A and B are shown apart, each in its own frame.
Chain A
Amino acid sequence: MRYRILADKRLIPYLYLTPFILLFLGFTLFPLLYSLWMALHLPGESGSWLDMTFSGLANFRYVIEDDWFGVALHNTLWIALLAGLPQHLIAIPLASFLYRHSRRKNLFSLFFCFLPYLTSSVVIALVFNALFSRDYGLINQLLDTLWQLVHPGAPLQIDWYDAEHIRWLIALVVCWKHTGWNTLLYLSAMRNLNKDLFEAASLEGAGFWRQLVIVVIPGIKPVLLLALGLTLVGNLQLFDEAYLLTAGTGGSGQSGLTLMMYIFNLAFVEGDYALASAAAWLITVLLLLLLPIVKKVIRHE
């Protein structure tokens, strides 16, 4: 009897873990190794993805020398910065205000600010498509009205989908979607702030913005750095918004093409999984290079 229980207890964790281990091996570990293997091989004669010939780093060299990879890298970094920074510049004061004035009606602001984060990016892209339409879209009507106040008789019509503007539009949508998430993150970080510091600061005559700089930001610094890191890593993997707003084409002059779209096109439009895997591993290296920074931040915390 004693022995049976002992045997049971030893088996139980494996029993509990079996589904997880199978799924982890099948859909995480194996694909990771398989993609590395594919990145180092060229499709063989038969065209099968199991029978390939070893090619060393040829796939990586091809991707690095591909002009579109450079374009995609440039676009991605550009959008990552333009969408990433404003998120935090809005989220920190907003969270600070909601924290300082914890009134019931402020729940409305939190509600609407978080709603975009839950909404499907397809829905968001389609609605913004309608609002930013070139000819009679709401945004262009407003801009035109404002413009004509200053320059009467000179109509303004911005094509948000041309090579010059599409990245701004993508960045705006990404920023709009993720600000609420960051606000929530900062709000929960502010729970640990020392309330007395606010009292002291306001006795010294420091207003909202001054308190933000001298009390809030030093207090949430670890979370701030972590959130910036998460935003950067997330933005480097941007796909949905760019894909949807350019209708999958990358936009005119490919100025809305992101790294993830580049890989997607290599794999599922051109059908070259080996090149796509090589490109994916290049991005991984780029992300892993950022890792020491994130690690340092976490240790700091």
Chain B
Amino acid sequence: MAQAVHRSHPTPAVYWAIALFLAVVTAIEVAVPYFSVLDPVRVPLLIVLAIVKFGTVVAYFMHLRYDKKLYRTLFLFGVIGVIPLFVVVLATMHAF
């Protein structure tokens, strides 16, 4: 019998801490449009914050950080596939 050891899943305390972190990031996201001084960096900042939240949920709540590499590959295939899909959809509709 082959055996595979996986990294341990977080405890409930860690899940609560991650949720608190996500709540703080969301609060920052909501506050950004109200500060005109941030206007020059508003779009990249909001995109980075969304990526941070996305990655945190996928890594910790969906356990992709702890699970088999195969699952990560399968999911990333879809997520990365969105980029050429974006280009194809926009090109089809003559957005360029």
Verify that A and B bind, or say they do not: no
Task: Spell out A's residues near B (CB within 8 Å).
Answer: none
